[in-house]
Amino acid sequence: MGSGPARQGAGGGRGVVDTNKVWGTIYGKKVTMDDYERLRRDVNLYFLFNYGVWADRDPNVTQQSLQQEIYIRLMMYQKAKALGIHVNDSQVAQAAAAHLRSPQLLRALGAGNQSSVPFSVFVSQVLVPAGLTGADFENYVRDDLAINELQLTYGLPGLLVTPQEAAVEYMRQYQEMSAQIVFFSASNYLSRIPVSPQDVGFYYTNYMANYRLPDRVQVSCVEFSASNYLGQAEKELTNLDSQVTALFTQYGMQATPDAKTPEEAKTEIRKELVRRQALTDAAQQAGDFAQVVFNVSSSANKPASASDLYSVARQKGLRIETPAPFSAEYGPEDFAAPAAFTRQAFELSTGSPLAEPVAGPDGVYVMALVTNLPTEIPPLSEIRGKVASDMQLQEAIILAQRTGTNFVHNLFLQMAAGKSFTAACVAVGAEPQMLPPFSLSTQELPELNGHATLNQVKQAVVSTPPGMASGFMPTDDGGFVLYVQSHMPIDQSKMATDLPQFTAELRQQRQSQTFNDWYLREANRELRDTPVARGK
């Protein structure tokens, strides 16, 4: 499906498309409800097989982004038909079988110990409850194959990478360089920034919007941690050894990719099986606890409340946690809550303050609403310390950047007079640091120590010839100046070994990029008379 659907941040809505907005033309043809519904089902199935969840039930997908994906797929579907791309029944059968082996589908069904989902089970347990049919699945597979063929067709020019081009690109990415760097960090200038009540007040007034707090919620919860049930779970799994052996026989070392030996793999499989059973036991206990809380309120002939949660928890000797208020975007700061915890918390109200148990990867939670807090800007008196620190940091960054800019001017004068980079730095009172050899393919450079990002340093390298210093490069921390001493000789034997695989990957990247370039041009033209372009 091209580059795949755009999944947006949590809290964007349930992604239910307004079918009243089904209109527009693509390639001069009116968008029909039949075609729209066919591709809506395609997108839903695409999400199931790739993300393990229906698109219209994914909390990370907004209504707008879901509708956009349907229209994009409509465009590619129509283009494939116009080009006469044909998919035969044998191709459909093979692809359908592959889809039924999808790891995401197996996880969604809790069938991780199976190699495939039987078609009859898939239809009865997955498609029918979602209002879909076996024919919808066949259409999706056929459409997906046609769109994949479309990608190959328009991405073909990207495959035309010569061995010489690949070698040049390999050297560009993997040739290491020797470099020195001078940092101008705001932390070194903080002590020079005066902080007066008047300045803090002005800063707060000018940047008041930055301190606005979003809508927040506070809950109390009882956690049923899976770790508390591990011993019980191991006793319950009477056929544990045979399950471990069966899973290892079926999946081998792929069952636990990080394991280095079969014994280690089997140990990890065993731990995972026990953890799953422990999580099941925790869920059972959480469900029983929640039922008791509901029964308390029911017997008193009143709605469930947070006080009922406290009362039952105290009776059972269970610990109640009340994390600080949190927003929908970030969730609780006190612990790593699953996304479902945050989503459920924001669905609570004074009329319905008690939630059903919420499962996470390490435990199950039962929560009750404490309070809802609307968006607000705290008064300066409550956040004066933070405002003062923010003001001081901003001024320190400005001072660091001003110092760095002046440094570059003097540096160039010193180097023009014949001094080396190191000598020129010393002459103006700066301390250069030697970086370890790195290339554009380097993934981390701890020596930067948060003063600059690796990408910022790479950008400086690209525009700085060997034997030269970069200009001043501003960063969130202040900035830096980079001196590229030399490009180091590349390992020719390693290059010869790596080049075939590198060339294949480069061709695949170029093919994908070529198709994406075509797709963007096509979408900008063909979707301009649709709700996607007009936002209506």
What pTM does this model have? 0.66
Q: In which residue ranges of the chain is pLDDT below 70? A: 1-21, 110-113, 300, 303-304, 534-536
pLDDT in tens, 399-408: 999 999 999 9
Terminal C-alpha separation, the chain: 24
Biggest CA pair distance of the chain:
91
Q: Is 163 exposed, middle or buried (0-12, 13-18, 19+ CB in 10 A)?
A: exposed
**What pLDDT, on the 0 to 100 scale, is given for residue 14?**
37
**What pLDDT, on the 0 to 100 scale, is given for residue 238?**
85
**What pLDDT, on the 0 to 100 scale, is given for residue 9?**
35
Identify whether the C-beta of residue 175 lies closer than 8 Å to the C-beta of residue 439.
Answer: yes
**What pLDDT, on the 0 to 100 scale, is given for residue 111?**
63
Tell me the domain boundaries of the chain: 19-158+513-534, 176-209+380-487, 214-373
What span, in angstroms and rounded, lies between the C-alpha atoms of 297 and 309? Answer: 10
**What DSSP designation does 126 have?**
I
CATH topology of domain 19-158+513-534: Triger factor/SurA peptide-binding fold (1.10.4030)
Same fold, 19-158+513-534 and 176-209+380-487: no
What span, in angstroms and rounded, lies between the C-alpha atoms of 440 and 459? Answer: 9
**What pLDDT, on the 0 to 100 scale, is given for residue 258?**
78
**What pLDDT, on the 0 to 100 scale, is given for residue 437?**
95
Per DSSP, the residues of 374-435 read --B---HHHHHHHHHHHHHHHHHHHHHHHHHHHHHHHHHHHHHTT--HHHHHHHTT---EEE
Q: Is 115 exposed, middle or buried (0-12, 13-18, 19+ CB in 10 A)?
A: exposed
CATH topology of domain 176-209+380-487: Chitinase A; domain 3 (3.10.50)
What span, in angstroms and rounded, lies between the C-alpha atoms of 357 and 369? Answer: 13
**What pLDDT, on the 0 to 100 scale, is given for residue 303?**
67
